[in-house]
Amino acid sequence: MSQTMQRYIDEAEQALLHTYNRYQVVFERGEGVHLYDMDGKKYLDFVSGIAVFALGYQNREYNDALKEQIDKIIHTSNYYYNIPAIEAAKSLKRISGMDRVFFTNSGAEAVEGAIKTARKYGFLKDGRTDHEIIAMEHSFHGRTMGALSVTGNRHYREPFEPMIGNIRFAQLNDLESVKEQITDKTCAILFETVQGEGGLYPATEEFMRGIRALCDERDILMILDEIQCGMGRTGEMFAWQRYGVKPDVMTTAKALGCGVPVGAFLMTEKVGAHSLTAGDHGTTYGGNPLACAAVCKVIELFEKENVLENVRTVGAYLEQCLDSVAADYGCVLTRRGAGLMQGLVFDRPVGDIISAAMDKGLVLINAGADIIRFVPPLVITKDHVDEMVDILRRSIDEVCGGKNG
């Protein structure tokens, strides 16, 4: 590593709060599906900023749209209308089939909004102020207090207790475990359609349909967190769209703005008419013209560049390649995931394998200690997958000691 890059890393360690154990690299620019560090070293990117930069870096049309918007106006206020927010909301409605949109600045904030929506919906229904939400073990919904409260990872929650109250946990894909947690106070059931950080577990169709039926029966809101698995990642615009059931409320973020910080929570007309009203919720930045110009262009480019079709084709190929890696190595237990959101589960911590891959010019990320997660830009090709698998195999050879190791 050059002295200049090392100096920046040292300075970062002096200035930034130590909330991350960072890889020893400073990325300076991106081009397509590649990143370049300060020393000019090129990396194939299979992380895309954790499922964010779906269109790849330096998409000309995307960059131009942002530049154009900057020269018009970057921010107004939600007390006024702005054109990009209106267009972005229309586009989001069209691709999701939902009816009402609230723009946020992050995923966690979208989850906060969904929680408030559920509590207000319950409150208007029966006047109670002790409603409960059922969330799932191994889930991840963000780091703010509300989002953390519904995150099914005790280690993340414990130092910050007390959480917001009245959250119960069940198991994804275990309908009975959900039924056991239902009381007359339950106002919502919340889960990721495909669990991301928690280990790349897709919801089963049976579970999705079961939850939908349960929610309909009891007038409970079904809330799907599509922050990581949405925006094309599994080959549908939103992962729930392949199950034939529709949520009452959903969250999105990550790839929604492809790098510009923006999220949203969406709901059906029925929920919109019986939950948050004027004065109930707000944000200074949320839905500002710059963020929404990004959303508009991202959705337009997804359609123009047939991103979903690419995810289906290349996702299937990635699955097949990772399955053969899993078959070849004793230290790989299994593969899980959907589309271009895949995980390889190892019998050991994966940090050394990821570091070995970094040395060889491949960026990977973990999900939990023992899983390597693959969330590349959605515009990658089969050739990129081949290149990735070649480096991955050599990295596993190095750390696990060859095939059958």
Ligand X SMILES: *Cc1c(COP(=O)(O)O)cnc(C)c1O
Q: State yes or no: residue 112 binds ligand X (CB under 6 A).
A: no
Nearest to 345 by CA among 330, 329, 331, 334: 334
90: Cβ contacts below 8 Å, ≥ 6 apart: none
CA distance 396 to 388: 12
Cβ at position 254, least distance to ligand X in Å? 6
Number of residues that bind ligand X (CB under 6 A): 14
- For 246-256, b where at least 16 C-beta lie within 10 A, e where not — what string? bbbbbbbbbbb
Candidate list 192, 236, 248, 319; residue touching ligand X; CB under 6 A: 192
Q: State yes or no: residue 47 binds ligand X (CB under 6 A).
A: no
Closer Cβ to ligand X, 172 or 331, answer by number = 172
User: Nearest residue by C-beta to ligand X?
Assistant: 107
Q: Which residues share a beta bridge with 224? A: 191, 250
Cβ at position 267, least distance to ligand X in Å? 17
CA distances from 158 to 145, 153, 189, 370 (A): 12, 9, 22, 22
Candidate list 107, 339, 376, 377; residue touching ligand X; CB under 6 A: 107
DSSP structure string for 45-59? ESSHHHHT-TT-BT-
Closer Cβ to ligand X, 141 or 335, answer by number = 141
Cβ at position 397, least distance to ligand X in Å? 31
Cβ at position 198, least distance to ligand X in Å? 9
Q: State yes or no: residue 307 binds ligand X (CB under 6 A).
A: no
Span between the terminal Cα atoms of the chain, in Å: 31
Q: State yes or no: residue 196 binds ligand X (CB under 6 A).
A: yes
Cβ at position 111, least distance to ligand X in Å? 6
In which residue are the tokens 């709060």 written? 17
Q: State yes or no: residue 108 binds ligand X (CB under 6 A).
A: yes
DSSP single-letter state for residue 399: I
Cβ at position 156, least distance to ligand X in Å? 12
Three-class SS of residue 44? strand
Q: State yes or no: residue 319 binds ligand X (CB under 6 A).
A: no
Q: State yes or no: residue 253 binds ligand X (CB under 6 A).
A: yes
Candidate list 173, 228, 252, 275; residue touching ligand X; CB under 6 A: 228
CA distances from 18 to 12, 81, 354 (A): 9, 39, 21
Candidate list 45, 112, 132, 225; residue touching ligand X; CB under 6 A: 225
Stretch that binds ligand X, among 75-83, 117-125, 137-145, 309-317 (CB under 6 A): 137-145
Burial (CB count <10 Å: 0-12, 13-18, 19+), residue 64? exposed
Candidate list 46, 53, 57, 140; residue touching ligand X; CB under 6 A: 140
What does the binding site for ligand X look like in residue numbers (CB under 6 A)?
Answer: 106-108, 111, 140-142, 192, 196, 225, 227-228, 253-254
